[in-house]
């Protein structure tokens, strides 16, 4: 029922609110489709009912096209507002959520609808590399300040790590290594910048506190991407997984930072990184058969599901109150 209300809320956005429809809405798709991947993998490895993953995949796809349709309408009616978003030092990073959502849908439909999966992959990978170059050019050509940096910077650049996961078998590995190299190299660079920002400068504004969870995503996605390319659980793979585990524990020890934060769409930043690490934990169990990773998989699956449902509930509630898609 909540999901139906959510779809209706997104679908029925009036034109005066459409003007302020944020590109960050695509983070909703990332969260829902990330959870879909978790349940799909659980059905393959830990024998969960496959219907759960199928249901979430359907919901993710519908929500993706509803949000995409609304943003295209915004582009047609309010070009100025879209232009302002794509040259905004923070919002520019969330345009890559469009291509990442497309790539995740490609992964979800793999082995079921391979032709559709390939279409999603081609569109997602092409759009993502375009956005990567555009974002890098924007950073180089504009005088950004240190307070503009935040973990959302990982989205357009480190998001390249998702391409090998979606594209294995569709294109030659040399192309996938190109994307992997970009993602893994700039993760290290950007992490140094953001850590400097976190330690030596003012704390993030409350609305950006949830983006701290994005720190989990690069090593978790990097692990999945590396396994997909190499097929081996070697020293480097263990490093990536262990870093993902470290950052997951770290953000949870900082729970006081998130208590009593007013709801923003940025809350969806809690969801996809948790889904990514849960997925990497399930893969660790698949590769090692250690029961420890099976227990962790169950624990993180429960945590991720609770987080997604709580954030979805808040999103629906604030849509009902018309507190989303307003001038900030």
| 1.50.10.150, 3.40.50.720, 1.10.1790.20, 3.40.50.300: CATH of 2-320 | 1.50.10.150
Domain ranges for the chain? 2-320
pLDDT confidence of residue 85: 92
Residue 299 Rama label (left phi>0; alpha psi -120 to 50; beta):
alpha
pLDDT under 50: residue ranges of the chain: 1-12
Q: What gap in Å lies between CA 22 and CA 90, rounded to an integer?
A: 12
Q: 104: which 2 tokens?
A: 């995740």
Q: Do 211 and 269 form a contact (C-beta atoms < 8 A)?
A: yes
Q: For 197-244, what is each residue's pLDDT tens digit?
A: 888 888 777 777 888 889 999 999 999 999 999 999 999 999 999 999
Global confidence as pTM: 0.91
Model pLDDT, residue 303: 96
Backbone angles phi, psi at 197, to 5 degrees: -65, -45
Quote the pLDDT of residue 7: 44
pLDDT (tens digit per residue) in 117-151: 999 999 999 999 999 999 999 999 988 888 888 88
pLDDT at res. 15: 52
pLDDT (0 to 100) of residue 10: 47
- Tokens coding 149: 């940096």
């Amino acid at each position: 029922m909540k999901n139906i209300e959510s779809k209706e809320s997104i679908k029925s956005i009036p034109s005066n609110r459409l003007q302020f429809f944020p590109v960050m809405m695509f983070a909703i798709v990332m969260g829902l489709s990330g959870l879909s991947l978790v349940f799909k993998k659980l059905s393959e490895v830990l024998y969960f009912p496959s219907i759960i993953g199928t249901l979430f995949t359907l919901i993710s796809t519908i929500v993706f096209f509803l949000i995409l349709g609304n943003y295209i309408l915004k582009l047609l009616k309010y070009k100025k507002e879209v232009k302002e978003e794509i040259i905004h030092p923070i919002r520019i990073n969330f345009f890559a959520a469009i291509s990442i959502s497309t790539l995740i849908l490609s992964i979800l439909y793999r082995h079921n609808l391979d032709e559709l999966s390939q279409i999603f992959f081609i569109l997602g990978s092409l759009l993502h590399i375009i956005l990567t170059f555009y974002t890098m050019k924007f950073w180089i050509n504009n005088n950004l300040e240190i307070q503009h940096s935040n973990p959302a910077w990982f989205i357009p650049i480190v998001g390249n790590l998702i391409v090998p996961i979606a594209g294995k078998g569709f294109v030659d590995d040399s192309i996938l290594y190109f994307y992997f190299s970009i993602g893994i190299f700039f993760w290290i660079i950007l992490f140094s910048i953001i850590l400097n920002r976190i330690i030596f400068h003012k704390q993030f504004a409350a609305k950006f506190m949830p983006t701290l969870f994005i720190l989990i995503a690069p090593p978790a996605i990097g692990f999945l991407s590396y396994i997909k390319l190499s097929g081996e659980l070697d020293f480097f793979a263990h490093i990536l997984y262990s870093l993902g585990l470290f950052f997951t524990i770290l953000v949870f020890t900082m729970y006081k930072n998130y208590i009593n934060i007013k709801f923003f769409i940025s809350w969806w930043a809690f969801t996809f990184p948790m889904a990514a690490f849960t997925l990497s934990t399930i893969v660790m169990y698949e590769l090692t058969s250690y029961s420890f990773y099976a227990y962790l998989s169950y624990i993180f699956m429960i945590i991720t599901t609770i987080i997604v449902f709580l954030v979805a509930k808040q999103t629906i509630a604030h849509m009902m109150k018309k507190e989303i898609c307003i001038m900030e």
